[in-house]
A = this chain, B = another copy of it.
Amino acid sequence: MVVSVVLAVLLAQQIHGESPWVNDQNLGDPLRSAEAAQLPPELLDAASRLASRALLSNRAMETLEELCDDVGARLSGSAEANHAVDWCIARMKRDGFENVHAEKALVPHWVRGRCDAAMTSPRPQPMHACALGGSVGTGGKPLVASVVMTESLDSLAKLTREQVAGKIVLLTRRMTRDGGEASGYGPTVTIRGRGASAAAKLGAVGVMIRSVGTANARLPHTGNMNYEEGVPKIPAIALAAEDAEMVERLLARGTDVKVSMESTCEMEGDVESANVVADLIGREKPDEIVLLSGHLDSWDLASGAIDDGAGCVISWEAARLMHELKLRPRRTIRVVLWMSEENGSAGAKAYAVQHEAEAGKHVVAFEADSGAGRPQGFGLTCADQDLPRVQALAPLLRGLGCGAVTKGGGGADVGQLRRLAIPTMGLSQDDHWYFDYHHTTADTPDKVDPHEMSLNVAAMAVMAYAVADLEPRLAAAPPAANDRTR
Complex CA–CA separation, A314 to B72 (angstroms): 45
Q: Which of A417-455 contact B (CB under 8 A)?
A: 436-437, 440-442, 444-447
A58 at the interface (CB under 8 A from B): no
Q: Does A40 contact B (CB under 8 A)?
A: no
Give the residues in chain B near A123, CB-CB below 8 Å: 70-72
The residue that A246 contacts in the complex, of B17, B69, B219, B440, with Cβ under 8 A, is B69
A125/B72 in contact, CB under 8 A:
yes
User: From residue A121, how far is it (CB to closest CB) to chain B in Å?
Assistant: 12
Q: Mark A367-400, 1 if CB is under 8 A from B, else 0.
A: 0000000000000000000000000000000000
| Interface membership of A307, Cβ < 8 A | no
What would 14 more interface pairs be, CB under 8 Å, given A68-B246, A215-B217?
A65-B249, A66-B253, A69-B250, A70-B122, A70-B123, A216-B442, A217-B437, A218-B219, A218-B302, A218-B444, A241-B446, A242-B446, A245-B444, A249-B445
The smallest beta-carbon distance between A26 and chain B, in angstroms, is: 17
Contact between A436 and B217 (Cβ–Cβ < 8 Å)?
yes
- The count of identical subunits is 2
Could you give 14 example pairs across A and B, Cβ below 8 Å? A70-B123, A71-B123, A217-B217, A217-B218, A217-B436, A217-B437, A217-B442, A218-B219, A218-B440, A218-B442, A241-B446, A242-B302, A242-B444, A245-B444
* Chain B residues whose C-beta falls within 8 Å of the C-beta of A436 in the assembled complex: 217
What 3 pairs between A and B have smallest CB-CB spacing? A217-B217, A218-B442, A242-B444
Across the interface, which residues of B come within 8 angstroms of A446, CB to CB?
216, 241-242, 245
Q: Which residues of B contact A442 (CB under 8 A)?
A: 216-218, 242
Among A217, A302, A440, max chain B CB count under 10 A is at A217
Q: Which chain B positions have C-beta within 8 A of A70?
A: 122-123
